[in-house]
């Protein structure tokens, strides 16, 4: 039987500058979900990429004195660029789309024409404001103190001939979508935002072409117009599968299982995107998940504010896996959270160095010391075993339920609870006392086997979050091929165990202050 499919996407980021820990957050989260689904036996398509057209990029290139294409190449593919950042962060994407890829551009030309031919877009005149950093249009009444209501920055007045998408016709259909498909937009708080801020007041038609610059996909039936960058960008999720092009043949992944996006761009994904798909009679994505923001001192971290944290600097200092862990353990996925180096240090030290890392190193060291590395088969169960084995049994389904709901923080808390319980089990069973009594060898063997099995289960569950570290743990505890999801569904401590001492998994971070 063919595997079930799972299609997950990140936003395609603007290569207007180097990416930061905020973009890394979305991408690591999607990577974790993709790795988890692969572990669960899904045929996964994990898409990320870059949104390379538009006024913002054109302006940046002009400032730099280079062509827009040279400008984006320098940020995307040049050494130290976005592709390298995802390599550094161990992002297992299956496909990387650039909106300047020729197959995508050609597909966008066709999509725009199809919308026009269906009467979903018409020609008119735009009069209003434009926020270049957000690439978004605003009416006078939507502005807040004359500034962009999304980012608070200056807007430019624009008056130009333009095509409009009849978004106003979709207010009721989008409201109905939220009602009939309650999982379409998560978390729930985002639904209220969309309904109260945009749907209740009624949607306006959306300007979908520009004439005051050229860096975009040209409208082939009306020279001088380029397709609005958000229309170009949103359809990436389908062109990357082969929609309206021959480059790929992967439409079996559509409809998308989940679009991970930051809450800043939920409006585009949960209103404009489904409306355009409705206009083309195409199936809608199953879910849009609008995650929270990483804040710095209470304010949003963003490229244009210049208050960004650079993952390239953090990764070597803290460790890639520790950083990945922190991002998903510290902040509930749907909510905002303050990013600080102090919290990062505290989290790595408490969970990874002191708790789990210590559990692994103590256990492996004891197996080495008391049994020369291999646990004998003669084992006797005893007090405290039932409790820890039962907790393994509870942890696996709890973890799965959290992961299926993209509640990464809860999933990691469940694994850490098991790790802490195992440390307590060491204190309860006191292997160092058992080791002094020749008559308790079989009991000592059982205790250490239970610990290794607990560590093994934790390592399997940690795999999507910390893939490289998981491999190191499997090697240290001698897990062999017992590294799969199926192998944790029925934990079995009676297996043979031969350990191999290794390097410290998570060195304690010393505060340099
Ligand atoms: O909006 N905290 O691209 P973009 C958490 N090209 N996530 C953050 C963040 C923060 N402080 N800052 C950025 C665009 N992000 C469009 C997308 S999709 C068809 C087109 C993440 O480069 C978050 O996912 O401005 C946010 O939505 C995205 O980066 C915005 O990236």
Distance from the CA of 288 to the center of ligand 1, in angstroms? 14
Q: Locate tokens 């492996």: which residue? A: 364
Distance from the CA of 265 to the center of ligand 1, in angstroms? 7
| Within-domain flag for 157 | no
Strands, E, within 294-430: which ranges? 294-296, 299-300, 337-338, 374-375
| Within-domain flag for 282 | no
pLDDT digits over 352-362, tens only? Answer: 999 999 999 99
The pLDDT of residue 437 is 97
| Within-domain flag for 464 | yes
Please give the residue range of the domain that contains residue 398: 340-498
Whether the CB of 302 sits within 6 Å of ligand 1? yes
Q: With 80 as the cut, is the pLDDT of residue 302 above it?
A: no
> In total, how many domains does the chain have?
1
The pLDDT of residue 513 is 52
| Within-domain flag for 462 | yes
| Within-domain flag for 493 | yes
Helix ranges (H only) for 3-78 are 21-39, 55-64, 68-76
Across the range 318-340, mean pLDDT stands at 96
Least confident of 219-233, 259-273, 426-440, 491-505: 491-505
Across the range 251-266, mean pLDDT stands at 98
Residue ID of nearest Cα to ligand 1 atom 18: 11
End-to-end CA distance of the chain: give it in Å, rounded. Answer: 57
Q: With 90 as the cut, is the pLDDT of residue 305 above it?
A: no
Whether the CB of 293 sits within 6 Å of ligand 1? yes
Residue 165: its H or E element: strand 156-165
Alpha-carbon span 322 to 429, nearest angstrom:
30
| Within-domain flag for 455 | yes
The pLDDT of residue 235 is 98
The pLDDT of residue 512 is 57
Q: With 90 as the cut, is the pLDDT of residue 490 above it?
A: no
Pairing of strands 299-300, 374-375: unpaired
Bridge partners, residue 163, by sequence = 123
The pLDDT of residue 511 is 72
**In which band, very low, low, confident or very high, does the pLDDT at 297 lie, cut at 50, 70 and 90?**
confident
Q: How confident is the prediction for the chain on average, in pLDDT?
A: 96
Give the number of the atom of ligand 1 that is nearest the alpha carbon of residue 273: 19
Across the range 79-86, mean pLDDT stands at 98
pLDDT digits over 358-407, tens only? Answer: 999 999 999 999 999 999 999 999 999 999 999 999 999 999 999 999 99
- Can you tell me whether residue 356 is helix, strand or coil? helix
Q: What CATH number should be reported for the domain holding residue 417?
A: 1.10.730.10
Whether the CB of 25 sits within 6 Å of ligand 1? yes
| Within-domain flag for 78 | no
**Cβ contact 165:121 at 8 Å:** yes
Residue ID of nearest Cα to ligand 1 atom 12: 22
To the nearest 5 percent, what fractions of the chain are helix, strand and coil?
Answer: 50, 15, 35
Distance from the CA of 81 to the center of ligand 1, in angstroms? 17
Q: Locate tokens 């303050």: which residue? A: 338
Residue ID of nearest Cα to ligand 1 atom 29: 23
Q: With 80 as the cut, is the pLDDT of residue 331 above it?
A: yes
Residue ID of nearest Cα to ligand 1 atom 4: 13
Q: CB within 8 A of 448, min separation 6: which ones?
A: 363, 366, 367, 370, 371, 375, 431, 497
Distance from the CA of 23 to the center of ligand 1, in angstroms? 6
Whether the CB of 488 sits within 6 Å of ligand 1? no
Nearest to 472 by CA among 509, 504, 508: 504
Give the number of the atom of ligand 1 that is nearest the alpha carbon of residue 15: 22
Q: To test ligand 1's pocket by mutation, which of 18, 23, 311 has the most ligand atoms within 8 angstroms of CB?
A: 23
Whether the CB of 13 sits within 6 Å of ligand 1? yes
pLDDT digits over 2-34, tens only? Answer: 899 999 999 999 999 999 999 999 999 999 999
Q: CA angle 36-40-45, nearest 5°? A: 65
Across the range 304-329, mean pLDDT stands at 92
Whether the CB of 261 sits within 6 Å of ligand 1? yes
Distance from the CA of 469 to the center of ligand 1, in angstroms? 28
**In which band, very low, low, confident or very high, does the pLDDT at 221 lie, cut at 50, 70 and 90?**
very high
Whether the CB of 36 sits within 6 Å of ligand 1? no
Across the range 308-337, mean pLDDT stands at 95
Sign, Cα dihedral of 500, 458, 491, 385: positive
| Within-domain flag for 154 | no
Residue ID of nearest Cα to ligand 1 atom 7: 22
């Amino acid at each position: 039987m063919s595997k079930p499919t799972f299609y997950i996407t990140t936003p395609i980021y603007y290569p207007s500058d180097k990416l930061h820990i905020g973009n890394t957050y979305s991408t690591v989260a999607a990577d974790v979900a993709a790795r988890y689904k692969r572990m669960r036996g899904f045929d996964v398509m994990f898409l990320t990429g870059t949104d390379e057209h538009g006024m913002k990029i054109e302006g940046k290139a002009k400032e730099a004195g280079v062509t827009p294409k040279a400008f984006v190449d320098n940020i995307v593919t040049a050494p130290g660029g976005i592709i390298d950042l995802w390599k550094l962060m161990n992002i297992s994407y299956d496909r990387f789309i650039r909106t300047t890829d020729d197959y995508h551009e050609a597909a966008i030309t066709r999509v725009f024409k199809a919308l026009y031919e269906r009467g979903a877009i018409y020609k008119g005149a735009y009069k209003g404001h434009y926020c270049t950093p957000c690439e978004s249009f605003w009416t006078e009444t939507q502005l807040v103190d004359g500034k962009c209501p999304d980012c608070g920055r200056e807007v430019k007045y624009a008056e130009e001939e333009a095509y409009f998408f009849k978004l106003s016709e979709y207010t009721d259909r989008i409201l109905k979508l939220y009602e009939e498909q309650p999982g379409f937009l998560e978390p729930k708080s985002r639904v209220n935002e969309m309904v109260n801020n945009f749907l209740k007041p009624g949607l306006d038609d959306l300007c979908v072409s520009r004439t005051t610059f050229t860096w975009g996909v040209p409208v082939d039936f009306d020279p001088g117009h380029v397709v609005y960058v958000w229309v170009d960008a949103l359809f990436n999720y389908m062109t990357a599968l082969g929609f309206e092009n021959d480059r790929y043949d992967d439409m079996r992944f559509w409809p998308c299982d989940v679009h991970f996006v930051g809450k800043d761009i939920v409006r585009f994904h949960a209103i404009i995107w489904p409306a355009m798909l409705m206009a083309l009679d195409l199936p809608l994505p199953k879910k849009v998940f609008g995650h929270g923001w990483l804040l710095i001192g209470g304010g949003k971290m963003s490229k244009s504010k210049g208050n960004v944290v650079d993952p390239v600097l953090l990764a070597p200092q803290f460790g890639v896996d520790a950083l990945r862990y922190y991002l998903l353990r510290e902040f509930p996925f749907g909510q905002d959270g303050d990013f600080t180096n102090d919290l990062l240090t505290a989290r790595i030290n408490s969970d990874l160095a002191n708790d789990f890392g210590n559990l692994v190193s103590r256990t492996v060291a004891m197996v080495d010391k008391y049994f020369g590395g291999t646990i004998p088969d003669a084992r006797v169960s005893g007090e405290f075993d039932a409790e820890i084995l039962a907790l393994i049994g509870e942890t696996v389904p709890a973890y799965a339920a959290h992961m299926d709901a993209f509640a990464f923080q809860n999933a990691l808390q469940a694994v850490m609870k098991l790790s802490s319980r195992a440390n307590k089990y060491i204190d309860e069973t006191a292997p160092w006392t058992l080791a002094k009594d020749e008559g308790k060898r079989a009991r000592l063997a059982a205790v250490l086997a239970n610990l290794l099995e607990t560590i093994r289960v934790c390592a399997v569950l940690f795999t999507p979050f910390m893939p490289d570290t998981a491999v190191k743990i499997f090697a240290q505890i001698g897990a062999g091929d017992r590294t799969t999801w199926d192998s944790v569904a029925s934990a079995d401590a009676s297996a043979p165990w031969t350990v191999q001492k290794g390097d410290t998994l998570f060195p304690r971070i010393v505060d340099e202050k």
